[in-house]
Amino acid sequence: MTFGETAQRLSAICALQLGWRPNEFWNATPAELVCILQIADGDDAAPPNPNEIQNLMSLFPDKAAGEQ
């Protein structure tokens, strides 16, 4: 299967299962695409443990609007 054929197939799956428009499909990273399609297929992923959540919170802190 060529890249174009594969992209067309995945784009159609995302449109049907997720309601994505082409722009949303093309702006998603391959990792995001795999993750969301696994969840949509019912593949259960273990939730992050408290240490993983804390690490993510330190890497990506929430900021109030206007803060830098």
pLDDT score at 56: 85
**How much is the pLDDT for 24?**
92
pLDDT at 21: 93
Pairwise CA distance, residues 33 & 15, whole Å: 12
Tell me how far apart the alpha carbons of residues 16 and 50 are, in angstroms, rounded to a whole number: 34
Phi then psi dihedrals of residue 27, to 5 deg? -90, -10
Tens digit of each residue's pLDDT (9 = 90 or more) over 3-48: 888 889 989 988 988 899 999 999 999 888 888 888 776 656 667 7
Q: What is the pTM of this model?
A: 0.53
